[in-house]
C-alpha cells in the first residue's frame, strides 16, 4: 500500500475502487472474462440445439425426443458444472487480484487462477454456505409460513375479509423475507476476502464476515445499489438500439425470414452486452468488498498498526496470502504506481 492506512468514508472507498479498477482495467476484465467466456462457450451450442428443437415444433413437426433428452443431459452434466466452476473461480480470482492491487502489487492472470485453483473446494463450500444461510433457509421458512397461513385461512373460512387479511399477511411475509435475505447477504459479503487473506475455512470465514460487517452493512448496501444502478444503465444503453432495430424490422415488413434474422441478431447483441456487463461489474463490486474488508479491520482490529509493524519488520507472519508474500515492490519516491508482477 502506498497511502497511509486509515478509516475511509464510503466516498473514499468508491474513489479507490474506481482508481484500482482503472489502473488494472485489462487485468480485471481478463480475469473476469475467462470463466464467463467458458460459460458462454458451452451455453451457445446448447442454445442452438434448443433453437432447432423449438423451430421444428413451431413449424408443426413432431417433437424430437432425442434432441430434448440430449439438451437435458447437457444441462445437467456440462452446463451446470462448468457454470459453477467458472463462477467460483471468477469471483475468487477477481478477489485475489483486488487484494493484490490494494496492496500495491500486481498479479498476472495465470498466477491469479493458479492461486485459487488448489482452494477451489473451500471457496465452493463458502459460496454454498452463503447461499444456504442467506437465501435457502429464509426462503424455506417463508414458504412454510405461507403454507401455514393459507391452510389456516381455509380452515377458518373467513370469506372476503379473511382473504384480504391473508393477502396482507402474505405480503408482509414476502417483504420480511426480502429484508432478511438482504441483511444476511450483507453480513456474509466479506466472507470471500476474509477466506482468501486469512486462509480460514469456509465456516470460520462466514463468522469473520458477520463480525467485520457490523456497523458498515448500510454502506455496503449503498455500494451494491450504485453498482446495480450502473448495471441497469449499461444494460439499457445496450438493449435500446437492438430493440429499435427489431421494431423497425417488424414494422417495415421484409418478410418472416428477415424478421427472424433481426430477432436472432438482437439476441446475439444482448448476449454480448450481458457478457461485457458481467466482466465489468464483477470486478467493481469485488474491489469494493475487499476495500470494505480492510477498512473494517482498520476500524475494529488495528490493522493499520499491524501493517506498519510488519513493514518495519517487527512482527513475524504477515497479513498477505501466501501467494503474495515476498512480492512487495521496492518503490522509488515519486513513482507510486511501480509494482512487481508475478
Identify which of 218, 212, 180 has the alpha carbon closest to the alpha carbon of residue 193.
212
What CA–CA distances, in Å, run from 30 to 27, 108, 120, 274, 275? 5, 10, 19, 15, 12
The CA distances from residue 214 to 40, 86, 289, in Å, are 37, 30, 14
Read off the pLDDT of each residue in 42-64 and give the average, rounded to a whole number.
62
Average pLDDT of the chain, as a whole number: 79
What pLDDT was estimated at residue 326?
40
- The span from the CA of 325 to the CA of 287, in Å, is 20
In a domain, 322, yes or no: no
Residue pair 191/208 in contact by the 8 Å Cβ criterion: yes
Choose among 55, 63, 43, 33: nearest CA to 263: 55
83 part of a folded domain? yes
Q: What percent of the chain has pLDDT over 90?
A: 36
pLDDT of 59 above 60: no
Residue 70 has pLDDT above 90, yes or no: no
Number of domains in the chain: 1
Average pLDDT rounded to a whole number, residues 49-59: 60
Average of pLDDT values for 195-207? 93
- How far is it, in rounded angstroms, from Cα 141 to Cα 192? 26
Q: Strand pairing partners for 106?
A: 341
Examine residue 328 and state whether it is found in any structural domain, yes or no.
no
Distance in angstroms (rounded) separating the CA atoms of residues 229 and 265: 26
CB 284 within 8 A of CB 21: yes
CA distance 196 to 321: 7
Is 177 part of a structural domain of the chain? yes
Higher confidence at residue 61 or residue 314?
314
Does a structural domain hold residue 342?
Answer: no
* Residue 267 clears pLDDT 90, i.e. is over it: no
Q: How far apart are CA 261 and CA 56, in angstroms?
A: 17
Q: What is the mean pLDDT of residues 27-41?
A: 82
The arithmetic mean of pLDDT across residues 177-205, rounded, is: 94
Q: Give Cβ neighbours of residue 53 (< 8 Å, ≥ 6 apart).
A: 63, 64, 67, 68, 71
Q: Is residue 314 part of a domain?
A: no
Under DSSP, the state recorded for 134 is I
Beta pairing partners, 124: none
The string of pLDDT tens digits covering residues 303-331 is 767 767 766 666 554 444 444 544 443 33
Structural domain harbouring 51: 10-300
Summarize pLDDT for 271-300 with one digit per residue, the tens: 677 777 778 888 999 999 999 999 999 888
Predicted local distance difference test score (pLDDT) of residue 232: 82
- Average pLDDT value for residue range 162-190: 90
Instruction: Let me know if residue 208 belongs to a domain.
Output: yes
pLDDT of res. 338: 36
Of 340, 342, 336, residue with least CA distance to 1: 336
Please, which pLDDT band fits residue 342 given cuts at 50, 70 and 90? very low
Q: Which three cell numbers stand for residue 314?
A: 517487527
Residues 117-154 pLDDT 10s:
999 999 999 999 999 999 999 999 999 999 998 888 78
| Range with lowest mean pLDDT among 15-29, 112-126, 154-168, 175-189 | 154-168
What is the percent of the chain with per-residue pLDDT over 70, rounded to a whole number?
70
Helix 217-252 vs helix 10-23: angle between axes, to the nearest 10 degrees? Answer: 60
Which three-class secondary structure string do you get for 47-116? HHHHHHHHHHHHCCCCCCHHHHHHHHHHHHHHHHHHHHHHHHHHHHHHHHHHHHHHCCCECCHHHHHHHH
Query: Is 53 part of any domain?
Result: yes
pLDDT band at 64 (very low <50, low <70, confident <90, very high): low
What would the mean pLDDT of 181-194 be, rounded to a whole number?
Answer: 95
Which three cell numbers, joined as nine digits, stand for 129?
454456505
Amino acid at each position: 500500500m502506498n497511502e497511509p492506512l486509515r478509516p475511509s468514508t464510503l466516498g473514499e472507498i468508491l474513489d479507490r475502487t474506481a482508481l484500482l479498477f482503472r489502473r488494472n482495467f485489462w487485468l480485471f476484465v481478463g480475469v473476469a472474462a475467462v470463466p464467463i467466456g467458458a460459460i458462454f462457450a458451452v451455453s451457445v451450442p446448447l442454445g442452438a440445439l434448443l433453437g432447432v428443437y423449438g423451430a421444428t415444433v413451431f413449424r408443426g413437426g413432431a417433437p424430437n425426443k432425442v434432441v430434448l433428452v440430449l439438451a437435458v443431459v447437457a444441462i445437467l452434466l456440462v452446463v451446470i458444472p462448468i457454470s459453477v466452476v467458472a463462477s467460483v473461480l471468477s469471483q475468487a480470482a477477481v478477489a485475489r487480484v483486488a487484494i493484490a492491487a490494494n496492496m500495491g502489487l500486481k498479479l498476472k492472470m495465470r498466477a491469479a487462477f493458479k492461486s485459487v485453483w488448489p482452494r477451489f473446494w473451500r471457496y465452493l463450500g463458502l459460496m454454498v454456505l452463503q447461499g444456504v444461510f442467506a437465501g435457502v433457509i429464509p426462503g424455506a421458512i417463508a414458504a412454510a409460513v405461507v403454507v401455514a397461513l393459507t391452510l389456516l385461512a381455509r380452515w377458518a373460512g373467513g370469506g372476503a375479509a379473511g382473504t384480504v387479511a391473508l393477502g396482507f399477511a402474505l405480503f408482509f411475509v414476502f417483504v420480511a423475507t426480502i429484508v432478511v435475505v438482504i441483511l444476511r447477504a450483507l453480513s456474509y459479503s466479506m466472507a470471500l476476502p476474509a477466506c482468501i487473506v486469512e486462509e480460514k475455512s469456509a465456516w470460520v470465514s462466514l463468522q469473520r464476515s458477520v463480525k467485520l460487517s457490523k456497523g458498515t452493512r448500510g454502506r455496503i448496501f449503498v455500494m451494491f445499489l450504485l453498482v446495480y444502478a450502473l448495471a441497469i444503465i449499461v444494460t439499457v444503453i445496450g438493449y435500446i438500439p437492438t430493440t429499435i432495430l427489431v421494431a423497425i424490422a417488424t414494422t417495415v415488413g421484409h418478410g418472416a425470414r428477415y424478421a427472424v434474422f433481426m430477432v436472432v441478431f438482437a439476441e446475439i447483441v444482448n448476449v454480448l452486452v450481458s457478457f461485457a456487463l458481467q466482466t465489468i461489474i464483477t470486478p467493481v463490486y469485488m474491489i469494493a468488498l475487499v476495500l470494505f474488508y480492510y477498512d473494517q479491520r482498520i476500524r475494529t482490529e488495528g490493522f493499520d498498526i499491524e501493517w506498519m509493524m510488519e513493514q518495519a519488520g517487527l512482527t513475524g507472519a504477515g497479513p498477505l496470502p501466501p501467494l503474495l508474500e515476498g512480492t512487495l515492490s521496492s518503490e522509488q519516491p515519486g513513482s507510486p504506481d511501480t509494482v512487481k508482477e508475478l
